[in-house]
Amino acid sequence: MLDLETLTRPVDIYCERTGPGFWAEPWNALSNLSFIAGGLWGWRTATARGERSAAVWTLIWLAFAIGVGSFLFHTFAQVWAVFADTIPIWAFVALGSGIAAVRIGGFRPGTVLVAFLVLIGVGAMLSASGGSSAETHEPPPLNGSLQYAPAVLALAVFAVLGYACRHPLRHWVAAALVTFLLSLTARTFDMAVCESLPTGLHWIWHLMNGLLIGLVLQIVIRAGDPVRPGLAAGRARA
């Protein structure tokens, strides 16, 4: 049961945090501006291209929400802020993957909805099973990065299919996948480098993921251009 005592329990799983203070993680907190930058990049492109999809605009707003939620988590560092941090992230992953599946993969929205409800469920289970102990302050296995395995898998599938069908956006998808793998590496080894690097590596995760979010937004927005065929069209031409 999530009572007030549980929700306000401190969370200390990052190398940079050495105390309960609001600004105990300045690098981790301020690097969240990268998410805002990624959202603004998407906003500018969507406006320039006359994007009308409510789903795409929701995705752009979720990019801003990720920046705000992560900032709250790395400043207040309490259990309630975990939800402010993770809910926008998983909403972005699910919605972004769904839009890409429709616009790039040519799948029907109904099929995509079922698939990504499963994705959300798997991600939630991995997140829960990989959670840290608020009492021992010990990081989970791989520093909690295992929960992002479904997102890596989704990007990898899109990258492989994109190159197989020579989709015009295949290089963008590959760049997003490489960016995500690099950011996950920084997140995973954050606690391992504490002794030699007091600031840790989690802020690099933020910077790289800000770029990743910008790339994902560019992909789904540009995929809505009618001159860009989906994978299904690519298979038909082959």
Segment 57-115, tens digit of pLDDT: 999 999 999 999 999 999 999 999 999 999 999 889 888 988 988 888 777 776 666 66
Q: What local confidence, expressed as pLDDT, does residue 1 receive?
A: 62
The token pair that represents 95 in the structure block: 């919605």
Nearest Cα residue to 31 out of 141, 217, 183: 183
Q: Per residue in 13-30, pLDDT tens?
A: 889 998 889 999 999 999
Per the structure, how many domains does the chain have? 1
Instruction: Please give the structure tokens belonging to residue 214.
Output: 């910008």
Q: Is residue 187 part of a domain?
A: yes
Residue at 2 is within a domain: no
DSSP 43-59: HHHHHHTT---HHHHHH
- What confidence tier does 121 reach under pLDDT thresholds 50, 70, 90? low
Q: What confidence tens digit (pLDDT) does each residue in 179-229 have?
A: 999 999 999 999 889 999 999 999 999 999 999 999 999 999 999 865 455
pTM of the model: 0.86
In a domain, 82, yes or no: yes
Average pLDDT, the chain: 85
In a domain, 7, yes or no: no
> Which residues, listed in sequence order, are joined to residue 10 by a DSSP beta bridge?
78
In a domain, 42, yes or no: yes
Kindly state the percentage of the chain with pLDDT values over 90.
58
Asked, for residue 104, whether it belongs to a domain, the answer is yes
Find the domain containing 106 and state its range.
Answer: 21-231
Give the pLDDT band of residue 54 (cuts 50, 70, 90): very high
Confidence of residue 236 (pLDDT cuts 50, 70, 90): very low
126-161 burial code (b ≥16 CB/10 A, e <16): bbeebbbebeeeebbeebbbebbebbeebbebbbeb
For position 186, which CATH number holds? 1.20.1070
User: Coil, helix or strand for 78?
Assistant: strand
Q: Is residue 238 part of a domain?
A: no
> Per-residue confidence at 132, pLDDT binned at 50, 70, 90?
very low
